[in-house]
Amino acid sequence: MISITGGNLLADGAGSQAENAAATSASTTTGTAVDAPRAIMPDRPEVDMPALASARQTRLRTVVDDLDLDALVMLTAAGVQYASGYRSVGADLYASHQMAAVLTRDDCWLICPAGDSAAAADAGIRLDRIVPFGTFFFESVDESPLSTDVGRHPTLDAALRFVVGAIGSRDMRWGVEGLAPGHAVGDRVTLVDATAAIGRICARKLPGEVELIRYAARLTEAAMASAVEAATEGATEKEVADHVAAGMVAGGGSPRFIVAGTGPRSALSDSFATRRSWQRGEVLRLDAGCVVDGYWSDLGRTVVLGEPSQVQLVRYEALLAGQDAAFEALRPGVTGRELFEAAVRTVNGHGLPYRRQHCGHGIGLEIYEAPMVSPAGDTAIDVGTTLCIETPYYELGWAGMMVEDTVLVTDAGFQRLNLTDRRLWVALP
Q: What is the pLDDT along the chain (429 residues), one digit of tens a residue?
A: 222 223 333 223 333 334 444 444 444 334 789 999 999 899 999 999 999 999 999 999 999 999 999 999 999 999 999 999 999 999 999 989 999 999 999 999 999 999 999 999 999 999 999 999 999 999 999 888 888 877 889 999 999 999 999 998 789 999 999 877 666 777 889 999 999 999 999 999 999 999 999 999 999 999 999 999 999 999 999 999 999 999 999 999 999 999 999 999 999 999 999 999 999 999 999 999 999 999 999 999 999 999 999 999 999 999 999 999 999 999 999 999 999 999 999 999 999 999 999 999 999 999 999 999 999 999 999 999 999 999 999 999 999 999 999 999 999 999 999 999 999 999 988
b/e per residue, 283-320, with b = 16+ CB within 10 A?
bbbbbbbbbbbbbbbbbbbbbbbeebeeebbebbbbbb
pTM, full prediction? 0.92
Residue 9 CA: distances (Å) to CA of 38, 222, 235: 5, 8, 22
Angle (CA) 171-179-122 rounded to 5° is: 85
Distance CA(259)–CA(287), nearest Å, equals 5
Task: Compute the C-alpha angle 15/16/20, nearest 5°.
Answer: 75
